[in-house]
Structure 1
Amino acid sequence: MSKRVVIAEDEAIIRLDLREMLEDEGYVVVAETGRGDEAVELARQHQPEVCIFDIQMPGRDGLDAAREVAGDRTSAVLILTAFSKRDLISEARDAGVLSYLVKPFQREELVSAIEVAWGRFTEMRELEDTVESLEEKLETRKAVERAKGLLMDDFQLSEQDAFEFIRSTAMANRAKMRDIAQQIVDGLLTP
């Protein structure tokens, strides 16, 4: 599947060159603008895989736009600039930029920068999904342990019987064990 791209570059000639290079490489340019404020709106509207932002643009600078788009966690962000100052690179990284390209650049450098940004973005998404899944499992375990404790204390069930009650009730009701455990803790469900 071709990656969809939003371009935000205030110099029309560079924007045109970018579009041509990207399309020649199989990317799909879904939107382009010369303004930073429009870049954020276009990114939200089109939900591309990659956004390429110039740093200096009218309306809003590229780092500010990048910070907002990166915060939405929907697109990988790559910054284009004519400057390669170390503090600018640090600021871009802190804004959530995943790749950095200094003008003028070659087609191979552009493709490489996009693929680096996309690779980092997908790794971050996978890590966030893993963390979310682990947090959900931890919360479920805590709820089940609380419910088991109540069942053991209030109804003199063994730990195994308390667990089995929660598990079988969840299965019978096609519910999550966490939800059944919460009902027990809330006093809404008893054996």
Structure 2
Amino acid sequence: MGMRWRVAIVDDHERSRAALRGAIWAAGGEVVGEAVRCADAVPLIRSAAPDVAVFAVGLPDGDGVEAAAHAIATTDRPVVLFTSHTDAALVERARAAGVMAYLLKPLRPAELAPALDLAIARFAENRQLRQTLEGRKIIERAKGALMTRLGLSEEEAFHRLRRAAMDSRRPMVEIARAVLTSDPVTRTPTTQPDNDVPTPRGNAAANHRTER
């Protein structure tokens, strides 16, 4: 059976790191790397690819919250903040940074697993939401492009995108990207006007052909 989580630790206090290591191991996880400075956090996360990282607030070369924000933005990994206090100002800064959960010092081992599980679950939900919103924006832009290019109504443009997605067995957002980026297109040999919607090359149905 695999490890429950792969965890990176960014904390300059050996006693705190030792407490985290012990609690992570006892809960079925694995520590895949440790750092003691802000400057080492992103390289550590990139190389170790943990499921979640635990950051202390006070680090010798800078602010752990700012380091966490940078790590979240550049590595796309969830972060749990490990802190001795959670005043309103810190909570707001952490929220703005994208921190998903907190652990209080001194560590109470029973609190570790819920915090890590919560951070990973929240981060996955947020990522899915971002992807969904980005996909909707791409589809809306593609509809607008078809409306302008072909003089269609919004409903007609959406119908063509949907038909092209069904015919090519691809997600609608991929069809929308093809419309926006003018990728090489594969069209179905039919008289239906939906042929004006491009689909990504190489994954269309077997009876599709490329028009030149």
The residue number in structure 2 matching 1:32 is 34
Letter paired with 2:107: F
Q: Deviations over 1:82-109 (max 9, x none)?
A: 1222211111111211111211131121
Determine the C-alpha separation between the residues in 1 that align with 2:46 and 2:61.
17
> Partner residue of 2:94?
92
Aligned counterpart, 2:16: 14
- How far residue 43 of structure 1 moved from its aligned partner, in angstroms, is 1.5
Q: How many residue pairs get matched?
A: 169
1:135 corresponds to: 137
Q: Deviation at 1:10?
A: 1.0
Q: RMSD of aligned C-alpha atoms?
A: 3.0
Contact 1:89 1:100 (C-alpha < 8 Å) held by counterparts: no
Cα distance between partner residues in 1 of 2:55 and 2:7: 10
Match of 2:61 among 45, 59, 63: 59
Structure 2 residue aligned with 1:74 = 76
Q: Which amino acid aligns with 2:46?
A: R
Give the Å deviation of 1:182. 8.9
Q: Report the Cα offset of residue 112 of structure 1.
A: 1.1
Aligned equivalents of 1:47 and 1:139: distance in 2? 34
Q: Secondary structure at the match of 1:26?
A: coil
Percent identical: 31
- Unpaired runs of 5+ residues, structure 2, are 169-173, 186-195, 199-212
What is the rounded CA distance, in whole Å, between the counterparts of 1:3 and 1:102 in structure 2? Answer: 19
Q: 1:119-134 counterparts in 2 under 5 A? A: 119-134=121-136
Unpaired segments of 5 or more residues in structure 1?
A: 151-158, 184-191
Question: How far has the Cα of 1:49 moved from its partner?
Answer: 1.7
Question: Paired residue for 1:5?
Answer: 7
Superposition deviation, residue 45 in structure 1 = 2.3
More helix by share: 1
Among residues 11, 15, 23, which one is paired with 2:25 in the alignment? 23
Deviation at 1:53, TM superposition (A): 0.4
Question: How many angstroms apart in 2 are the aligned matches of 1:103 and 1:111?
Answer: 15
Deviation at residue 65 of structure 1 after TM alignment:
0.8
TM-score by length of 1: 0.76
